[in-house]
Structure 1
Amino acid sequence: MFRHVARTVLTLAVLSTAVACGSGDDGSGGITLRIGATSPTGTPAGSLGWGDKEGILAEQLKDAGVDKIEYSFFQSGSDVASALFAGAVDVAAVGDNPALRARSKDPKVVLLALDSINSDVWLVGAKGGPTDIEGLVGKAVTAPHGTVRDRSARQLIDAAGLNGRIEVRDVPTPESIAGLSSGEIAATAVSGASAIELQHKVFPLIDSLSRHGLGYTGTNIALTTFTDRHPGFADAWRRAVTAVNRDIQDNFDAYATWVAQTDGTEVEFVTESTRPDEFNTEPFPPRGVDQLQAAYEFLQADGSLQSPFDVREWAGATQ
């Protein structure tokens, strides 16, 4: 998951290319759907990648007139949301943090579906450093600003009653992990198999969202300017997401093996960090909406959102 300059150059390059291409009729009468997502490998990852690999997305979206899917990849969910507002992508597959920020900025942001729930983030410490969150008082933890990992780090500090006593610094994940190894960083927020891999390398897992009954959701958002032009798309997308997730649940071992291969990690790290119940088979499961609401309340309380809105109403939208 580049240094700030490299990330900016990559984002601008993808934006300019995607905007130039545009969306809509691809010349055959069908829709070319442009999907934006984060990906450290430059290929479709996670459930989106599985749906692409297995042909489930393409098959399920045919009824909405989609006959071609193009992907643009970015280094953060905030970059993906920016691409959505810029008209460079039609659908943004992002974490709940950038989705909530986007909706607070513009009511035209539609929540198409939640594509995952119950996902965890771990606070990983440096070797030989603190093993509990109290040991981080007076130190700094790191996470890329505006991401789920950033919010999770602050949520964990809040849950420990240590607000104002532990600083959260904006540092990209690769630099953070390098800093852990050198001892220059006390702790960083990490998600997925990377956290478990670090644990196996004897980096302490100091805390996690799941220990506090918390989690984060994956969201898919679009703008009403797109959904109004394609009135059957939102329902087709929801059917596609749930079909992909159902297939992952039915073939979880194969999915975990594929993730390990594409991410260059071990299957055991994937299975330790990912559970089948993260892949919801309805577009707005109650537990996922609760997690989205909890994220909203935290961001609203700390002033991260531009304007208030009703999360549950947003999640029940049928645009």
Structure 2
Amino acid sequence: MSRPRRRLAAAQVLIGAVVLAALAACSSADATAGSTTAPSSDASSAEATPAALVPITVGGPWNGTAGKEPADTGPFGYAVHLGLADELLAQHGFSYEGFAAFNNGPPVVQALQSGDIQVGFIGDTPAVLARSNDLDVPALLIAKPTQDIWFLGREGGVHSVEELAGKKVALQFGSNFDKYGRAVLERAGVLDKVELVNLLFADALPALQRGEVDAVPLPATTAGIWRLKNDFPVLTKASEDDPDLLATSVGLTSGDEYKENPELAAAVWAVYDAGAQAILADHDAYAQFVSDTTGAPKDVVLAANLWQYGTQPADPDGVATVTSTLEFLHDTGTTTGTFDPNAWVVP
């Protein structure tokens, strides 16, 4: 049953400081090289020689199990996996180079600004924070919310969010799960009664195992991986108790990249949409792909996906989520900047 809403608590300026520091810092990435096939040409005729394709590298957060090769597991990455991307990209003058993996969203923005990657898929919270702080990051698409969020507790600990009063909660500051965690704690009436600590998921797992923190909100697929070897209770699920807090993803590029290659938006959407349609056509095959790629249990992948994908680059539900995120960042004092989410996606 959904808990009653309450106004967000006092400003949390620390979130913005942490995320903006991350945006200013360089981050290393593990990239998997994609194959590129050069188009054939007729050497006897310059007019018959096609223009060279512009290579693009895609970046995004990666939270798979150790030993797995990082890969994009969203609709764009699934289209790559199925062999649908090359032709679609080539129609717009691009070729796929590979995927670069990052710990979270802010370093992806940094890599876009430096030109290390040309497209980044990240959560709406770090994307909105970057845009509201006047970083030139045109949106190529704003997706419909598609993935669940779970709030996990430690073994032998509490069994409800309300019981977290006086406990310690790990949040990945500046992420979608930071926004979700604070809102859920606020609705339960315990936000001002818990100690919040900033931890990446890679650090939050051992902290939860050792009992150094009492709860962590995170993507349902990642939660499923953690629960393979740990008896962590699920305190609440966004899809069941707080569906209005479901997060989404935003496809970004840099302003310079878009000015140089204005066809990029149409190219990315074509590949993303092809992947989304393939997902909807066969849930089981997609769940198996995500399981094989990340190590997440197939049944968790099937349960975590909401199986809804937009039919246009600026999905109305996605734009509504971005708008609520901008309001959240203002309410918490994380940003004072503003912009029109309805006009963010470029043509």
Paired residue for 2:331?
301
- How far is the alpha carbon of 1:254 from its aligned partner? 0.5
SS in structure 2 at match of 1:207: strand
Cα offsets for 1:199-250 (capped at 9, x unmatched): 6754221123331222111110112211121122212222221111111111
Does structure 2 conserve the Cα–Cα contact (< 8 Å) formed by 1:101 and 1:306? Answer: no
The equivalences for 1:57-206 within 5 A come to 57-106=85-134, 108-196=136-224, 198=226, 201-206=230-235
Change beyond 3 A, Cα 1:115–1:44: farther
Change beyond 3 A, Cα 1:89–1:118: same
Question: C-alpha distance in 2, partners of 1:271/1:115?
Answer: 19
Does structure 2 conserve the Cα–Cα contact (< 8 Å) formed by 1:140 and 1:186? Answer: yes
Question: C-alpha distance in 2, partners of 1:180/1:77?
Answer: 22
Determine which structure has greater relative contact order: mean sequence separation of CA pairs < 8 Å that are 6+ residues apart, divided by chain length: 2
Output the amino acid matched with 1:76.
N
Match of 2:286 among 255, 258, 263: 255
- How far is the alpha carbon of 1:11 from its aligned partner? 5.8
Does structure 1 conserve the Cα–Cα contact (< 8 Å) formed by 2:57 and 2:98? Answer: yes
The equivalences for 1:280-295 within 5 A come to 280-295=310-325
Return the index of the structure with the highest Cα Rg: 2
Output the amino acid matched with 1:206.
L
- Gapped runs of 5+ residues in structure 1? 1-6, 16-26
Does structure 1 conserve the Cα–Cα contact (< 8 Å) formed by 2:154 and 2:208? Answer: yes
Q: Which stretch has the larger CA shift, 130-139 or 100-109?
A: 100-109
- How far is the alpha carbon of 1:198 from its aligned partner? 5.0
- How far is the alpha carbon of 1:87 from its aligned partner? 2.2
Q: Which stretch has the larger CA shift, 46-55 or 189-198?
A: 189-198
Question: C-alpha distance in 2, partners of 1:109/1:205?
Answer: 36
Within the alignment, does 1:43 sit opposite 2:76 as a pair? no
Change beyond 3 A, Cα 1:265–1:70: closer
Change beyond 3 A, Cα 1:35–1:306: farther
Paired residue for 2:83?
55
Does structure 2 conserve the Cα–Cα contact (< 8 Å) formed by 1:42 and 1:73? Answer: no
SS in structure 2 at match of 1:304: coil
SS in structure 2 at match of 1:46: coil
Within the alignment, does 1:233 sit opposite 2:264 as a pair? yes
Question: C-alpha distance in 2, partners of 1:83/1:189?
Answer: 26
Does structure 1 conserve the Cα–Cα contact (< 8 Å) formed by 2:112 and 2:120? Answer: yes
Question: C-alpha distance in 2, partners of 1:12/1:129?
Answer: 35
Report which of the two has the higher share of strand. Answer: 1
SS in structure 1 at match of 2:236: strand
Question: C-alpha distance in 1, partners of 2:268/2:164?
Answer: 43
> TM-score when scaled to structure 2?
0.78
Change beyond 3 A, Cα 1:294–1:119: farther
Change beyond 3 A, Cα 1:68–1:181: closer
Within the alignment, does 1:223 sit opposite 2:254 as a pair? yes
- Gapped runs of 5+ residues in structure 2? 1-21, 31-49
Paired residue for 1:4?
none
Change beyond 3 A, Cα 1:289–1:13: closer
Change beyond 3 A, Cα 1:68–1:120: closer
Identity of aligned residues (%): 25
Question: C-alpha distance in 2, partners of 1:39/1:171?
Answer: 15
Match of 1:31 among 17, 38, 54: 54
> TM-score when scaled to structure 1?
0.85
SS in structure 2 at match of 1:134: helix
Cα offsets for 1:18-77 (capped at 9, x unmatched): xxxxxxxxx972201122212244422312321211122222211221034232221111
Does structure 2 conserve the Cα–Cα contact (< 8 Å) formed by 1:199 and 1:205? Answer: no
Report which of the two has the higher share of helix. Answer: 1
Within the alignment, does 1:272 sit opposite 2:303 as a pair? yes
Aligned-pair RMSD on alpha carbons?
Answer: 2.6
- How far is the alpha carbon of 1:110 from its aligned partner? 0.8
Aligned residues: 299
